[in-house]
């Protein structure tokens, strides 16, 4: 199996889907001539031409709406946001147009579009460029929210998202683009709505998604050296959330830490915890703890930034706490 970066895995998914279906096209800022702000679309303009790899003005609200309108009449746009921070300008289109069209039209008009780009923080990009908005989109019925953590999932989930008949918010990790991993060639499909156990364990589960998967795996490794056997469950899709997999892991380990990059208040973890307390209360041997980004705008200073972010040490501390160790 070839080893690819997360970036190239996304690139392969786009290329294969554009080869498969002439209705699939890519639009966004710098996706063509510049080859992508993060080079995810490298080579696609040459292969598919400017009608299918469309450079847009810096106008997120406008081109998100253009993608939705094209999807309403049968095309399958992949709309790239340079980052999800900029997509706030387009949130009216995602929430009021894309998410609701099928319902408002009594099932007559769907929006088979993918909105993708990097979310969350990178390194010292400060407050306006370092935000995790998945819980905002996951709040809205009509949208699906997908967040791959590995190159293989990036490819398989993007292919599924493009083939999906509903609008999909596909949030990548800027710090993941260079991550390498094995990726199956050709028709590799990962279904939406299925979580994945990234590490088997018996004593505690770390539930995570996107960038926090790598953090959780690192924490689990260190815990293992310390004699603690942790399971890592990668949600992969935030909406629809894989309730069964969450309940299965809690039924197995009986202790749980939920990690996410975003702010705690009304975050993804809050929803996970709600499911567990309602449906698996008797399975729990300890209260669930959450590890989240600090409840502040992201600071620029690198020490302050580090303090604001989820890291293995914070996850390990939470795990020790739910295990009543130390």
Partner 1 sequence: MAGSTAAGPRKRSRGLDSGQADEYRRWLRQMMLIRRFEEKAGEAYSLGKIGGFCHLYIGQEAVAVGSLAALRPDDYITCSYREHGHALARGVPARTVMAELFGKAAGSSGGKGGSMHIFDASLGFLGGHAIVGGHIPLATGMAFAIKYRDTDQAAICYFGEAAVNNGAFHEALNMAALWKLPAIYLCENNRYGMGTALERASAIYDISERACSYDMANEVVDGQDVLVMHAAMERAVGRARSEKLPTLLEVRTYRFMGHSMSDPIHGHYRTREEVEGQRKRDPIALWSKRLIDEGLTDQAVVKALDREVVEEVEDAYQFAEQAPDPAPEELYTDVYAGS
Q: Please report the DSSP string for 181-233 in residue order.
A: EE---SS----TT--EEEE--SSEEEEE-THHHHHHHHHHHHHHHTT--EEEE
60 catalytic, yes or no? yes
- Kindly state whether residue 208 participates in binding partner 1, applying the rule CB under 8 A: no
**Rounded Cα distance, 96 and 55, in Å:** 24
**Rounded Cα distance, 308 and 173, in Å:** 17
Q: For the chain, how are helix, strand and coil distributed in percent, rounded to 5?
A: 40, 20, 40
- Kindly state whether residue 68 participates in binding partner 1, applying the rule CB under 8 A: yes
Choose, by CB under 8 A, the member of 97, 130, 249, 253 that binds partner 1: 97
Please, which residue, 67 or 201, has the CB nearer to partner 1? 67
- Kindly state whether residue 131 participates in binding partner 1, applying the rule CB under 8 A: no
2 in the Ramachandran plot: left (φ > 0), alpha (ψ -120 to 50) or beta? beta
Please, which residue, 90 or 288, has the CB nearer to partner 1? 90
Contact 323, 286 (CB under 8 A): yes
Q: What's the token pair of residue 85?
A: 């921070």
Choose, by CB under 8 A, the member of 75, 270, 280, 304 that binds partner 1: 75
* Pick from 245, 227, 247, 248: nearest CA to 323: 227
Q: Convert 11-22 to b/e letters by CB count within 10 Å (16 or more is b).
A: bbbbbbbbeeee
188 catalytic, yes or no? no
The catalytically annotated residue of 17, 60, 172, 261 is: 60
Please, which residue, 59 or 224, has the CB nearer to partner 1? 59
Contact 152, 182 (CB under 8 A): yes
- Kindly state whether residue 91 participates in binding partner 1, applying the rule CB under 8 A: no
The catalytically annotated residue of 30, 129, 139, 221 is: 129
**Rounded Cα distance, 291 and 204, in Å:** 14
Choose, by CB under 8 A, the member of 15, 30, 43, 62 that binds partner 1: 62
Size of the site for partner 1 (CB under 8 A): 42
Residue 226: Cβ within 10 Å count:
11
Candidates 66-74, 121-129, 279-287, 318-326 — which segment interacts with partner 1 by CB under 8 A? 66-74
- Kindly state whether residue 32 participates in binding partner 1, applying the rule CB under 8 A: no
Choose, by CB under 8 A, the member of 10, 18, 101, 257 that binds partner 1: 101
Site string for partner 1, 108-127 (x = CB under 8 A): xxx-x---------------
Q: Which residues bind partner 1 (CB under 8 A)?
A: 25, 51, 56-57, 59, 61-75, 77, 92-93, 96-97, 101-110, 112, 141-142, 144, 164-166
Active site residues: 60, 129
């Amino acid at each position: 199996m070839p080893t690819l970066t997360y970036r190239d895995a996304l690139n392969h998914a786009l290329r294969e889907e554009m080869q498969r279906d002439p209705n699939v096209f890519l639009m966004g800022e710098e996706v063509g001539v510049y080859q992508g702000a993060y080079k995810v679309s490298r080579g696609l303009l040459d292969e598919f031409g400017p009608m299918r790899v469309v450079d847009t003005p810096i106008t997120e609200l406008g081109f998100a709406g253009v993608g939705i309108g094209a999807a309403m009449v049968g095309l399958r746009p992949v709309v790239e946001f340079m980052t999800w921070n900029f997509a706030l300008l387009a949130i009216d289109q995602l929430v009021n147009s894309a998410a609701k069209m099928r319902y408002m039209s009594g099932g007559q008009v769907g929006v088979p579009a993918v909105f993708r780009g990097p979310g969350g923080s990178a390194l010292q990009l400060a407050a306006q460029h370092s935000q995790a908005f998945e819980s905002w989109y996951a709040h809205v019925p009509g949208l699906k929210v997908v967040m791959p953590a590995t190159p293989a999932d990036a490819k398989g989930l993007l292919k599924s998202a493009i083939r999906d008949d509903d609008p999909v918010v596909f949030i990548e990790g800027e710090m993941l683009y260079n991550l390498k991993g094995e990726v199956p060639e050709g028709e590799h499909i990962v279904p939406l709505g299925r979580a994945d156990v990234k590490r088997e364990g018996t004593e505690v589960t770390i539930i995570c998604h996107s960038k926090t998967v790598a953090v959780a795996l690192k924490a689990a490794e260190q815990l293992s050296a310390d004699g603690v056997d942790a399971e890592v469950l990668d949600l992969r899709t935030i909406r629809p959330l894989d309730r069964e997999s969450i309940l299965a892991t809690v039924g197995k380990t009986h202790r749980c830490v939920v990690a996410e990059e975003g702010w705690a208040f009304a975050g993804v973890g809050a929803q996970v915890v709600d499911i567990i307390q309602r449906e698996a209360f008797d399975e729990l041997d300890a209260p669930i703890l959450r590890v989240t980004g600090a409840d502040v705008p992201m600071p620029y200073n690198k020490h302050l930034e580090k303090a604001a972010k989820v890291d293995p040490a914070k996850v390990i501390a939470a795990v020790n706490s739910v295990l009543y160790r130390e």
